[in-house]
Amino acid sequence: MELTTVWFVIIAFLWTSYFFLEGFDFGVGMLLPVLGRDDVERRVVINTIGPVWDGNEVWFIVAGAATFAAFPEWYATLFSGFYLPLLAILIALIVRGVAFEYRGKRDDARWRARWDRAIFWGSLVPAFLWGVAFANIVRGVPLDASHDYAGTLLDLLNPYALLGGLATTALFALHGAVFLALKTSGEIRFRARRVAGIAVVAAIAAGGSFLLITQLQHGKPVTWLTAAGAAAGLLAAAAANRRGREGWAFVGTGAAIVLAVATLFTALFPDVLPSTLGSGGLTTANAASSGYTLKIMTWVAGAFTPIVMIYQGWTYWVFRKRIGTSHIPPAPKKRPEPVR
């Protein structure tokens, strides 16, 4: 197997890991105002991802860095043509991270409410725009002979891309609801299961439609299997959630996300960014770095990727237990004003 193909597979793996892990983070953030009916319940919801959300975002950073190093032409064209959507994603992620850190800094209901809204929008915007971005990558965008983006922002907001955004939003909301049912106890757990029962309908409708159109327009024979596997994962998640088997429901939603992303990357290969103008498209061959660069990167990835995976797996094992409102300590009371 050529190193260009190897690195296409590695980058696909990095993005798949990011969407699997950050997907339930986004879902939890989007469901915060739905499942957290008071401050204590909202603290429970946030604490389910508190120890892991920043580690999950590392996969995005590594995926971007790997794309830059292995396929610099792809990176340059992608980040210039998709500048505004990616900037919106970056701002949303920054605001979301700040909200997690600053929400509890003041004992003020309005202060916490503002940061709760920031968590909601900071989760919803990336969940939607990642779907828009990857749908456009598979569909192709206007590229000239120099591999420069020749379209406008409106070209990225085509019906297929918007459907992709709705699909990722619904999938991540379902993934987050199932994760909350798996990680919480008491009323929040049962509320999350009810929400998951509703979200799975939206995920099947939006995700199924998107994958079907993808298969009919851009798919290959093998992607029928991955797309069908993604649909089966959603159906299995719905059945497991109905029976109260949260662990198996999470496996089902996770499998659906993994297989859906696999469908997109398999349909894309050997292209990395097709051109709708008939020329100027980028492939694994004309967008790649030198063979020596890819060889060095392969050794580095082989050495450090297992370490990162072991460490992150250990983190999830340490914080594997359920939490509920009984585990949340009382909010610190305001200190009395000093007498002058």
65-99: per-residue pLDDT in tens? 999 999 999 999 988 889 999 999 999 999 999 99
Tell me the C-alpha to C-alpha distance, in Å, between residue 177 and each of 24, 25, 189, 196, 292.
8, 10, 9, 5, 45
Per-residue pLDDT tens digits for 188-212? 999 999 999 999 999 999 999 999 9
The distance of Cα 33 from the centroid of its chain, to the nearest Å, equals 20
Q: Which of 101-105, 111-115, 126-130, 336-340 has the lowest mean pLDDT?
A: 336-340
Distance (Å, whole) CA 309 – CA 6 = 19
Domain edges within the chain: 3-192+269-327
Encode pLDDT of 122-146 as tens digits: 999 999 999 999 999 999 999 888 8
The single residue listed with the structure tokens 């939607």 is 128
* Residue 286 identity (one-letter amino acid): N
Residues of the chain with pLDDT > 70, as a percent, come to 97
Q: Is pLDDT of 120 > 70?
A: yes
Q: What's the one-letter identity of residue 138?
A: V
Select from 275, 317, 278, 227 the least CA-distant residue to 77.
275
Instruction: Kindly state the average pLDDT of the residues 170-196.
Output: 94
pLDDT tens digits along 26-70: 999 999 999 988 889 999 999 999 888 888 888 999 999 999 999
CA distance 54 to 223: 32
Residue 339 binned pLDDT confidence (cut-offs 50, 70, 90):
low
Query: To the nearest 10°, the Cα dihedral for 270, 165, 248, 309?
Result: 50
Instruction: Tell me what pLDDT residue 151 has.
Output: 84
Tell me if 234 sits within 8 A of 204, measured CB to CB: yes
Entry pTM: 0.91
d(CA 201, CA 197) in angstroms, rounded, equals: 7
The span from the CA of 62 to the CA of 301, in Å, is: 10
| Residue 335 DSSP SS3 | coil
- Tell me what the pLDDT averaged over the chain comes to: 90
Q: What is the pLDDT of residues 225-261, one digit of tens each?
A: 999 999 999 999 999 999 989 999 999 999 999 999 9
Whole-number Å distance between alpha carbons of 299 and 125: 36
Do 186 and 324 meet the contact criterion of CB atoms below 8 Å apart? yes
